[in-house]
Amino acid sequence: MGRKIMKQAASKTHATRTVIELRKKILGGELPGGTRLYEVPLAEELEISRTPLRDAMSRLAEEGLLERARSGGFVVRQFSFADVIDAIEIRGVLEGTAARLAAERGVKPEAMASIQAVVKELDGVFGANPGEVEFEAYSELNARFHAELAALSGSKIVEKEVERAARLPFASPSAFLPDKTDIAAFRRSLNIAQEQHRAIVQAIAAREGARAEALAREHARIARRNIEYVLLEDRSLIERVPGLALVVA
């Protein structure tokens, strides 16, 4: 197929590619929160013209990583510790709403079967001994669980808003997955999270809206605890969490 020589294989347009590139720089800390993005030098550095750069920046503003300055131009958004906590809270509240609506309005059997299958698959990534987890598989399945949960609400709007709330990388359900980190509490948290996955699905199946909502909210607290640990107890882990570079001390 692609016989055409594209120096940039990944994306089609300069703007699209620039979104990715800028996002990487922002999340990687190369462009810290509060940085003003001057169009001319930045365009030169990226070897594109100002037009696609502005397009890319406006998309990143939609994404919440940049904000428009009052006098024009864009600035890298800056988050405080409290902002991170609150962003996670909102994600939990919205996922809770998705879970509650799913319970109240009911879900199609196929959708229920599908998310139950994800939970079952998640069971499979835990080894015999506590602490044994296939992180890669867990991470992927966890993302799928959260995506399907949002969809269970049966509401495109709710689904979209949940997705949006999780777009801030440190607020995402996969913000901090222990990976190879050798901290017992982190590893244990995966077991707890999985138990909550199960309970949420169960509550939705039983049409227990309030319980489903409360469980989903509590579920988001795991992310909060992990982030709090990273930010307050062991800041050496900051670089392991995408987007935490945006958080000002």
Partner DNA sequence: CTTGCGGCCCATGTATACATTTTCGTTATT
Partner DNA sequence: AATAACGAAAATGTATACATGGGCCGCAAG
Q: Which positions lie near DNA, rule CB under 7 A?
A: 1-2, 4, 6, 8, 12-15, 36-41, 48-52, 54-55, 71-74
Q: How far is CA 79 from CA 32, 68, 82, 107, in A?
A: 10, 15, 8, 37
Question: Is residue 95 a contact residue for a second copy (CB under 8 A)?
Answer: no
Q: Specify which residues 19 forms β-bridges with.
A: none
In the complex, least distance from residue 93 CB atom to a second copy, rounded to whole angstroms: 5
Q: Which of 223, 229, 101 is nearest to 172 (CA)?
A: 223
Stretch that binds a second copy, among 27-35, 94-102, 128-136, 141-149 (CB under 8 A): 94-102
Q: Specify which residues 16 forms β-bridges with.
A: none
Smaller CB separation from a second copy, 64 or 131:
64
Alpha carbon 20 to chain centroid distance? Answer: 16
Task: Produce one character per residue of 132-154: b if its CB has 16 or more CB atoms within 10 Å, e if not.
Answer: ebeeeebbebbbbbbbbbbbbbb
- Using CB distances below 5 to 8 A depending on partner kind, what does residue 116 bind out of DNA, a second copy, none? none
Window 45 to 64, contacts with a second copy (CB under 8 A): 51, 54-55, 58-59, 61-62
From candidates 22, 151, 158, 227, binder to a second copy by CB under 8 A: 158
Question: Is residue 20 a contact residue for a second copy (CB under 8 A)?
Answer: no
Question: Is residue 221 a contact residue for a second copy (CB under 8 A)?
Answer: no
Question: Is residue 157 a contact residue for a second copy (CB under 8 A)?
Answer: yes
State the Cα–Cα distance between residues 82 and 78, nearest whole angstrom.
11
State the Cα–Cα distance between residues 198 and 118, nearest whole angstrom.
10
Smaller CB separation from a second copy, 120 or 160:
160
Question: Is residue 86 a contact residue for a second copy (CB under 8 A)?
Answer: yes
- The distance in angstroms from the start CA to the end CA of the chain is 49
Smaller CB separation from DNA, 34 or 127:
34
In the complex, least distance from residue 231 CB atom to a second copy, rounded to whole angstroms: 16
